[in-house]
Amino acid sequence: MESKKGRKGEESRKRLLKAAANEFSIRGFHDTKISEIVKKAGFTQPSFYLYFQSKEAIFEELITDFHFRVRKLTESLLLENGLHTEDVSKRVLSAVETVFQCLAEDKDVTRIGFFLNPEAKQMKKDLAMVLKENLEAEQRLGYFHSELDMETVAECLIGMIEHLTDSFLLTGIKDPASLAAEVVNLLIYGMLPKGSDVR
């Protein structure tokens, strides 16, 4: 019986989080009302307070969870030692696609965590630092040019992911696979014609 109650409570909590994410995504934090969240979730207003103390609390949980998931994902994408040269671009493509897939999973939460969150700028700086550490480790393994400043590369990558997510991913214009392919094609092969030896 207790486990059933626990499962039901967890399901109710998830429904409230999903409804809140949608409301925040559409209306922004200040214009979102708890009454609209519970209406969308199919609950009464008093039931909201069984799970969350306030509108601020549910918003904070959404962005904290988003930050945690994206940071953990970024940390996990470090390329391992011993890759063949031809495998590096494939692994980079897979890593970038995984990031876009993560951001596409719940567009409401991504819109909140990446763009509406007042701490979004600091969160992106944090992600850029994790990415920089990954890139420097991969650079030491010989996967990337030794003269590249990986802090700059990391900031460029975060900027590209942020803008492409806003312009193409959240709007549904492009999917994670096609966006990742374009990003990696630019990063790995550049803008010069094939066969060009200009550096």
Q: Where do the domains of the chain lie, and which CATH numbers do they carry?
A: 1-52 (1.10.10.60), 60-199 (1.10.357.10)
| Structure confidence at residue 192 (pLDDT) | 78
- Residue with the bigger pLDDT between 77 and 5: it is 77
Segment 99-138, tens digit of pLDDT: 999 999 999 999 999 999 999 999 999 999 999 999 999 9
- The angle formed by the CA atoms of residues 39, 41 and 46, to the nearest 5 degrees, is 65
Confidence tier at 157 by pLDDT (50, 70, 90): very high
Separation CA 39–CA 44 (nearest Å): 7
**What average pLDDT does this structure show over 13-18?**
96
